[in-house]
Chains A and B, each alone.
Chain A
Amino acid sequence: MKVCMFHLMPYRDLPADFEQRYSSAYIDPLWFDVADAEKVGQYYNWTLDELLHAAKAGLHGLCTNQHHQNVYGFMANPSLMASVLAKGTNGQNVAIIQIGSTLPSTSPPTRIAEEYAILDCISGGRLVAGFPTGLPSDATISNAVVPIEQRERFREALALVTKAWSAKEIFAWNGKHYQLGMVNLWPRPIQQPHPPIWIPGSGISSTAEYVVEHDHCFCHLSYYGAKNAAAVTDRYWELAARKGRDDNPYRLSFLQLIGVAGSDAEAEDIYGPHAEYFFHKLLYTPPHYQQIPGCLEYPALRQALAHNPRAEVKLGELKAKDLYERGFVMVGSPRTVREQLMEYMKRLRVGHLLSLLHFGSMPTELCKSNIDLFAREVLPHLAPLWDDKYEDRWWPEKLRAKRPAAAMAVA
């Protein structure tokens, strides 16, 4: 399997009373009340350093993402981050994974086609092109996308982008949302007709169906951990089977918060404050910024209303040990973590593990030691999983060759 490092680039020094001052991590926090641009400059640099460190340590891919107007993660343009990563990892066996730029928020979307093509060129064909629809608040509030048009814009934009990447002739695009008279993209991606396409989703809805129909890779980005993911991933595999797709685990990517230390007790201790910071301050988003009328299509809306809303988990009340016990955050000794990961990745049939090795207020030194331990003592055990039976068709072709067995010698 492929084991990648995901980074949100959060604000790391929020005031202790942040969640009393604001009822949301999104939209409401006032920059001049809580933030400091000098510090943020340091965060961007740390984030890039941490990702480059992960590449050197042996992680297979580096993931960036796009969010706006929040304290939880603000790589407002992930291509800016990835251009540094692409350049900084030249010659290394590591994928640049954008999951990614949000098409409906960018007009015209050929801008993203260009940025991704630049990244693929700089990296020498190591790009994974991820296309999230975007969180409701990011798309509709921060970027003024009409809620009921978000998904149809997404589909049209993706069709335009993929055509623009590979069209041999100049073409006109006369769409519902986008009109371009002469499309002749410069540059084009090295990977033709297009780099591998990954599409994130939090549940199984029309987006997951779209992914399976188009034979892309589905990224289940959940913060509730592998322990609680089977309901979604089982439905995904049922959907794939129903649509006539095979059971290749590389059709699925999964995100997990992970903290590794010398012993279980030490890990529980050192990652506790950062886990609580993540779930108490950064994931603090009220329903009215998530359930914006129109962001769910009509059938999905009825489905969501019909399933009596689960007793809402009150994240603010969970202590670190609860977060560990519930599996939201996976912490422990290398042995504990790799045993759990092995079990869950097999059970869920995950081909790409996106490990969030930085979360919350974690300082850069701790993040790097987490990366080092994980890369040295966990990753080599996971890497061989699936490779005997399945080919990763959703990975840059140049990086598909089997990695040298030497990596296993560490174990």
Chain B
Amino acid sequence: MAAGETRRLRLWQGRIETEVEIAGEGLPLVYLHGPWGLPPDRPFIARLAAARRVYSVRHPGTAPGDPEAIHALSGWLDLIVYYGELLDRLELGAPATIVGHSFGALVAAEIAAAAPKSVQRLVLIDPIGLWRDERPVKNWMLLSEAERRSSLFADPASEAAKNFFAVPDGAGERVDVLSQFVWAQACTGKFIWPLPDRGLKRRIHRIAAPTLIVWGEDDGIVTVDYAAEFSSRIAGAEVEIVGKAGHLPHLEHGETVAKAVLAFIGR
């Protein structure tokens, strides 16, 4: 990915220090990562940055150097208001175009429901946040190694899967990568434990931004049936199903997903 700028911000009465990675040129796009933190999503972000100026924000507690920031937020309202403050500080100059994956997509949907006029276009990639008893969302934090691989990826042997789970050889680097991988799940998991239903279904009708829903056909965490659950609740939402992809279609088929996303937000 082309070298971008990293902006360090202090928010939330000075209690949360965070980083925003900014790359690319063009109209702004805000990217919200999923439960595994920002680093695994960088290849996809680079694709978006080919056409847009991408602001990749980090979930509280996952920015380097401030793991304890997570304790400054207590609940769901705190989290959504925090993201509102973060968006304000990015000074985008216009309602935001937000692309989110999984947990990040849920946050994006909540922002769009809480403050409909602040979002211009919305892209939800395999979002969590709704619940059907007959299709329980699998808790990715409680899976065995083997089950995790097969639930996240349609092809656990793919290059994307290998990169996602890759652990560096050097001892220090190994600890950095693994701890960020675990801690990002801990910090996002804080808001959706024990299952990811924080009541979005009561608020989702407020989303006014044109919305694209992208789903991996073989998602083993939130099955593809949920694409209809989301689209039926958001007026005019479009759905793009990605074949041979699991919960991380933007990594497994990055080119396809980036193309669909850029086409949608470029209209």
Contact = CB atoms under 8 A, between A and B. Distances in A.
Interface in B142-197: 142-145, 171, 174-175, 178-179, 182-183, 185-187, 189-190, 193-194
Contact of A289 (B142, B171, B183, B194): B142
Contacts of A294: 185-187, 189-190
Closest 4 CB pairs of A and B: A294-B186, A293-B185, A293-B186, A298-B67
Interface stretch (A141-149, A205-213, A382-390): A141-149
B8 to A, nearest CB: 19
Contact of B186 (A147, A288, A305): A147
Interface stretch (B68-76, B96-104, B257-265): B68-76
Contacts of A322: none
Contacts of A289: 142
A298 B71 CA distance: 12
B115 interface: no
Contacts of A298: 67-68, 179, 183
A306 B67 CA distance: 17
A152 B70 CA distance: 12
B11 interface: no
Contact of A144 (B74, B142, B185, B193): B193
B101 to A, nearest CB: 18
A147 B194 CA distance: 9
B27 interface: no
B175 A306 contact: yes
Contacts of B185: 293-294
Given A146-B193, A147-B193, A152 B71 contact: yes
B190 A146 contact: yes
B189 A302 contact: no
Interface residues of B, number: 24
Interface residues of A, number: 23
Given A288-B142, A288-B144, A148 B178 contact: no
B90 interface: no
A107 to B, nearest CB: 14
A253 interface: no
Nearest to A137: B142
Contacts of A291: 182
Nearest to B171: A306
A137 to B, nearest CB: 9
Given A148-B189, A176-B74, A288-B142, A305 B178 contact: yes
Interface of B: 67-68, 70-71, 74, 141-145, 171, 174-175, 178-179, 182-183, 185-187, 189-190, 193-194
B70 A293 contact: no
B193 A302 contact: no
Contacts of B193: 140, 144, 146-147
A34 interface: no
A305 B174 contact: yes
Contact of B194 (A23, A144, A152): A144
A291 B193 CA distance: 15
A146 B174 CA distance: 26
B175 A148 contact: no
Given A146-B190, A148-B189, A293-B189, 12 more contacts: A140-B193, A140-B194, A141-B194, A146-B193, A147-B189, A148-B190, A286-B144, A288-B143, A293-B185, A305-B174, A305-B179, A305-B182
Contacts of A176: 74
Contacts of A288: 142-145
A308 B194 CA distance: 30
A167 interface: no
Contacts of B171: 306, 308
A148 B35 CA distance: 14
A318 interface: no
A248 B266 CA distance: 72
Contacts of A172: none
A68 B67 CA distance: 31
Contacts of B186: 147-148, 293-294
**Which of A140, A148, A286, A293: most chain B Cβ within 10 A?**
A293
Contact of B175 (A146, A152, A293, A302): A302
Interface in A294-334: 294, 298, 301-302, 305-306, 308
25 contacts: A23-B144, A140-B194, A141-B142, A144-B193, A144-B194, A146-B189, A146-B193, A147-B141, A147-B186, A147-B190, A147-B193, A148-B189, A148-B190, A176-B74, A292-B141, A293-B189, A298-B67, A298-B179, A301-B183, A302-B175, A302-B179, A305-B174, A305-B175, A305-B179, A308-B171
